[in-house]
Structure 1
C-alpha cells in the first residue's frame, strides 16, 4: 500500500471502489450549494457557476414568510460533466467573502440524517479550513459532504465528513485518529446524533457534584437568611417595654443561634443528611421555627 504525506501526516493511499454517478432528474444534474452568505442572490450564483457551463436553472431557497435567504440553493446543469466540474473546482471557494459548500443533491438523504458513514473530527487547529479537511479525508473514499464548523468567520475546532460508504468512514477513523495535524492531535470518531448519545459515568459524576454544590449554596443561603431575620427580631425586641415589670428573656433566640452554628458546621463536613438536599433543609428550617420561636406573633 502506497503512503503519502499530507500536512506532515503519513496517510495510506487507497483506491476506493468505483461508485455509480448520481442519477439525473429528467436529464438535469442538480448540485446543493450551502453555507451561503445571507446577501447572496440568484444572480450571484448564476455569475459564479455559468463559467463552468450552461446552467439549466438556479433556485435560492427563501423563508416563505419573510423572504429572507435560507442560505442554501440548488444549481442545475444540463450535463454530468459540467456539474462534476463545478463540484470539483468551486467547492469551498468564496462567494461574497464566504466559502460555499457544494455536494450532489440528495433526493433521499437517509444516510445523512441517520449518521451512516458520517465522521466527526475535533481538536482541529483554528486555521484549518473545510477545503483542507476534505483534502485530508478524500484519500479514503468518495466524500458527499465536508465541513468545518464556524461562527462569525472563526472556526470552532471541529468538523464533519460524510462518506458514501461506512467502509470509507471506518478506514478514515482508523488511519487518522490521534494523528498530529498542525501541531494538534486530532480526534476522529463515528458521528452520533445528540439524541442518541449516552452519558459516561465521569460526566454523570461531574453533573452530580455540580448539583450538590448548587444545593449546598442554597441551603447555606437559607441558614444565613434565617439568622439575619431573627437577629433583627432580637434587636427590635431588646428595647424595654413600657409598663412592664418583667424582663424580656431571649434564651430561645440564643439557643437558635447555637443550633444554626452547629448546623452550618455539620453541613461543611459533607454529611449527606443535609448537603445536596434542599427539601430536608426546608423541613429543618420549619422545625426550628416551630420549636424556638413559637411565641413570635409575626414572621420576618
Structure 2
C-alpha cells in the first residue's frame, strides 16, 4: 500500500478501482455477441475468441423448430480479464465479412428492455460505422451497446447508443446533438420504443383531427349565418321591387352572389359555393 506525507503525518494513498464487469455467473464471465452472419457457426466463434484466452463455453442461439441461426451467441471466459480484453479488441470486428457487436451479457436486462440511458442517433453519414459511433460517444461514459443500423451491408443512417447511466446519456446528448460529423448535422435524442412512438403519434393525429373538425364546424356555422343574412336582405329587396311598378331584374342578384363567391374563392370551400348557388337558385325561382 502506498503512503504519502500530509502535514507531517503518514497517510495511506488509495487508487480508484476500475469498473468491474457484471458479476460472474457460475464462475464464468459471459459476453453477448450479436449481429452475426447467418452462416457463422460455434466453431467460427471459438476460432475468433480463443486467441484472447481459454474459453469456458460458446452457445450459438438457433430457432428451436427450423434450427436456423438467430444471429447472436454467448461466449464465456474463465476470467474477467479475458472477457474484458475480448470486448475491447473484438467488438465491431468482422467475422465472415460482417462486423459483430459485443456487450456484457446482462442477467437482469431491465435497463436494455426499458430503454433507460439509451440514445437514438440519426442523420449519420453513410461512412459512419458502429466502431466510429462508439468512439464518438465513449468519452461521455461507459457504453453498454452501440450499433449503426444496416441492411444488406448498407447503413440506414441511424443508430443506437446505450450507456450504463442516464446521466452519461444526457451528457452525450447535450454535447453531440446538432454537431457536424462528416459534414452532416446529427440528431441525438432519447430512445423511445416503437409502441410508445405509435401511441404518441396517434394522440397527435387525434388532437389534430379534433382541431380541424372544430374549425370546420365553426367555419360552416359562420358561413351559414352570413348566407342567411344575405338571403334575408335579397328577399327584402325583392319584395320592395315586387310592390313597385317596375319589372324585376334578377341580374343584380346574380352579380351580388358572384361577388360574394369571389370573396370566398381563396379558401376553395365547395360548401360555400353550394350555399351561394342554392340561395340564388331560390331567389330566381
CA gap of 1:204–1:59, structure 2 versus 1, over 3 A, is same
CA distance in 2, matches of 1:36, 1:149: 13
Q: Does 1:199 align with 2:201?
A: yes
* CA deviation map 1:54-78 (0-9, x unaligned): 0000000000000000000000000
- Give the superposition deviation at 1:21: 2.5
CA distance in 1, matches of 2:32, 2:20: 18
CA distance in 2, matches of 1:84, 1:271: 70
CA gap of 1:204–1:46, structure 2 versus 1, over 3 A, is same
CA distance in 2, matches of 1:35, 1:21: 22
Q: Which stretches of structure 1, 4 residues or more, deviate above 6 A after TM superposition?
A: none
CA gap of 1:177–1:49, structure 2 versus 1, over 3 A, is same
TM-score, length-normalised on structure 2? 0.66
- Name whichever structure is richer in helix by fraction: 2
Give 1:38-187 correspondences, 5 Å limit.
38-187=38-187
CA gap of 1:173–1:17, structure 2 versus 1, over 3 A, is farther
- Give the superposition deviation at 1:53: 0.4
Give 1:17-28 correspondences, 5 Å limit.
19-28=19-28
Could you tell me which runs of 5 or more consecutive residues in structure 2 were left unpaired when the two chains were aligned: 1-15, 210-264, 273-285
* Equivalenced residues, count: 202
Could you tell me which runs of 5 or more consecutive residues in structure 1 were left unpaired when the two chains were aligned: 1-15, 209-265, 274-300
- Give the superposition deviation at 1:272: 6.2
CA distance in 2, matches of 1:80, 1:17: 14
- Give the superposition deviation at 1:17: 9.9
Q: Residue 271 of structure 1 corresponds to which residue in structure 2?
A: 270
CA gap of 1:87–1:272, structure 2 versus 1, over 3 A, is farther
CA gap of 1:17–1:196, structure 2 versus 1, over 3 A, is farther
TM-score, length-normalised on structure 1? 0.63
**Helix, strand or coil: the match of 1:204?**
helix
Greater relative contact order, per chain length (Cα 8 Å cut-off, separation 6+)? 1
The structure with the largest alpha-carbon Rg is 2
CA distance in 1, matches of 2:56, 2:49: 11
CA gap of 1:103–1:270, structure 2 versus 1, over 3 A, is same
CA gap of 1:128–1:141, structure 2 versus 1, over 3 A, is same
CA distance in 2, matches of 1:270, 1:138: 56
CA RMSD between the two structures = 2.8
CA distance in 2, matches of 1:119, 1:19: 22
Give 1:249-268 correspondences, 5 Å limit.
none
**Helix, strand or coil: the match of 1:39?**
coil
- Give the superposition deviation at 1:200: 8.8
CA distance in 2, matches of 1:17, 1:85: 17
**Helix, strand or coil: the match of 2:201?**
coil
- Give the superposition deviation at 1:199: 2.5
CA distance in 2, matches of 1:38, 1:105: 21
> Retained in 1: the 8 A contact 2:21–2:104?
no
CA distance in 1, matches of 2:65, 2:195: 30
* CA deviation map 1:251-282 (0-9, x unaligned): xxxxxxxxxxxxxxx9x944369xxxxxxxxx
